[in-house]
């Protein structure tokens, strides 16, 4: 018996019981499709998250108060120990010293709070950041219209505000032509001097929904802190992407000296974008494995379905096996026949499953776009190879037992079987 003959005969035999073959194939289809779709969603999530982290800004470092020993928290999460000193404007100034920290390009101290913005009856609650002029270049933020916060605003503690596009829409109904309007923040009047370009959703909530006022104004009138010079987070831009670790080291040394921290204990944390990336890659990696694992279980169940059907088939065709043996079929002829059938079942299921899984991933992507999420599931070749080979192995593995049972039947017994 040649291989092509074996395949033709197996197809004939599977075709002879369409309903049963179809349902068995369906089990594999669902399993493979689930694996493909889940891995695609996992990969898509990973790419979307790493992409949005990259969009935060290149060469970016974050310095915030509190030690790294605990779980990492957001800026100003107030997790500081008793002896921890808060970060101050003095720290920010020291970091911007080009001699002490040659790898640092720009420094932007920020103080943050929440507040209610109102404009003629409309109101919205958002994050209000007190920033310096360096903030916008450090964060890669550009203005759609108007002018940025400058030194003059800072020195004069002026009541000016730059709005994120979403905030502008919430207040005015549109994001353009709002420069010059006066809004109220916590009841105090502020003049809108600019609107940011929309960036889309990020990993830390949308930065399009935000309001930026001069640091000094925030300090004096809106966001109260226990010590006068306190800042919540310092954004630092390194000179190049390669100098980010160098900059982190320099910043740490400067603040350690200034805070006189005990050796081996820092009361502040320097977080780089690479840290964020690797953290989220770990999280999404675990997520992908988890999703793939669950989908893999359904593939396993599909494989057991194949085994089940093959066992029934062997029992049903005992006489046929006996006859074939009487006509001169050797053990391996029978083994090959049944293995071909089970492998074909899983192979067909695998191919349909890949297409189906691709379709599911496509639909998920469409739904994500329709709901405004920037998320594209990625069907990788690795996922295709993985699930195809896995389903072929499952076909072989779960086919071996029934096939060897068929091959080892005694011809006399098999022929007598009713």
In angstroms, give the least distance from the CB of 12 to other proteins: 6
Q: Which residue has the tokens 């594209």?
A: 376
Helix axes 273-316, 331-370, angle to 10 degrees: 140
13 binds other proteins, rule: CB under 8 A: yes
Q: Count CB neighbours of 335 within 10 A.
A: 19
- Find the part of the chain contacting other proteins (CB under 8 A) among 158-166, 224-232, 276-284, 408-416: 408-416
In angstroms, give the least distance from the CB of 342 to other proteins: 18
228 binds other proteins, rule: CB under 8 A: no
In angstroms, give the least distance from the CB of 406 to other proteins: 14
329 binds other proteins, rule: CB under 8 A: yes
Choice from 98, 180, 328, 372 touching other proteins (CB under 8 A): 328
In angstroms, give the least distance from the CB of 25 to other proteins: 19
366 binds other proteins, rule: CB under 8 A: no
Contacts of 397 (CB under 8 A, 6+ apart): 303
In angstroms, give the least distance from the CB of 13 to other proteins: 6
341 binds other proteins, rule: CB under 8 A: no
Which C-beta is closer to other proteins: that of 13 or that of 273?
13
Of 149, 154, 153, residue with least CA distance to 163:
149
Choice from 19, 263, 327, 370 touching other proteins (CB under 8 A): 327
Of 62, 143, 71, residue with least CA distance to 110:
62
Q: How far apart are CA 343 and CA 399, in angstroms?
A: 7
Evaluate whether 246 touches 105 at the Cβ level (below 8 Å): no
Judged by DSSP in three states, 70 sits in coil
E-state strands within 351-412: none
2 binds other proteins, rule: CB under 8 A: yes
| Residue 79 CA: distances (Å) to CA of 76, 135, 383 | 8, 24, 42
> To 10 degrees, the CA torsion angle through 194, 200, 206, 211?
0
331 binds other proteins, rule: CB under 8 A: yes
In angstroms, give the least distance from the CB of 341 to other proteins: 12
Choice from 1, 312, 355, 363 touching other proteins (CB under 8 A): 1
Residues near other proteins (CB under 8 A) are 1-2, 5, 12-13, 16, 319-320, 323-333, 410-412, 415
């Amino acid at each position: 018996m040649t291989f092509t003959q074996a395949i033709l005969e197996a197809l004939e035999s599977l075709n002879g019981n369409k309903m049963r073959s179809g349902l068995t194939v369906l089990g594999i289809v669902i399993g493979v499709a689930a694996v493909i779709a889940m891995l695609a969603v996992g990969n898509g999530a990973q790419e979307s998250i790493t992409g949005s982290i990259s969009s935060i800004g290149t060469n970016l470092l974050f310095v915030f108060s509190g030690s790294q020993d605990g779980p990492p928290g957001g800026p100003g999460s107030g997790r500081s120990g008793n002896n921890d000193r808060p970060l101050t404007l003095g720290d920010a100034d020291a970091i911007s010293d080009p001699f002490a920290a040659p790898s640092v390009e720009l420094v932007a101290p920020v103080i943050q709070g929440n507040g209610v913005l109102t404009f003629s009856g409309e109101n919205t609650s958002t994050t209000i950041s007190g920033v310096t002029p360096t903030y916008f270049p450090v964060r890669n933020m550009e203005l759609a219209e108007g002018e940025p916060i400058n030194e003059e605003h800072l020195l004069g503690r002026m009541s000016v505000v730059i709005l994120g596009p979403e905030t502008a829409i919430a207040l005015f109904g549109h994001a353009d032509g709002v420069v010059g309007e006066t809004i109220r923040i916590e009841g105090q009047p502020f003049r809108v001097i600019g609107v940011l370009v929309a960036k889309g959703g990020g990993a830390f909530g949308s930065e399009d929904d935000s309001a930026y006022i001069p640091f000094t104004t925030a300090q004096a009138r809106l966001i109260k802190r226990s010590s006068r010079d306190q800042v919540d987070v310092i954004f630092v831009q390194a000179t190049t992407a390669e100098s980010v670790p160098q900059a982190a080291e320099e910043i740490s040394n400067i603040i350690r000296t200034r805070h006189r921290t005990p050796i081996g204990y820092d009361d502040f944390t320097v977080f780089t974008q690479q840290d964020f990336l690797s953290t989220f890659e770990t999280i999404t990696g675990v997520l992908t494995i988890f999703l793939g694992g669950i989908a893999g279980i359904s593939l396993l169940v599909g494989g057991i379905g194949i085994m089940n059907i093959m066992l029934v088939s062997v029992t049903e065709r005992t006489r046929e096996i006996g006859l074939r043996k009487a006509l001169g079929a050797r053990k391996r002829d029978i083994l090959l026949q049944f293995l071909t059938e089970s492998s074909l079942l899983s192979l067909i299921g695998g191919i349909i499953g890949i297409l189906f899984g691709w379709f599911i991933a496509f639909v998920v992507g469409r739904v994500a776009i329709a709901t405004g999420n920037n998320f594209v599931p990625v069907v990788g070749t690795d996922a295709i190879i993985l699930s195809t080979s896995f389903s072929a192995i499952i076909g072989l593995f779960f086919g071996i037992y029934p096939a060897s049972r068929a091959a080892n039947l005694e011809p006399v017994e098999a022929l007598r079987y009713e």
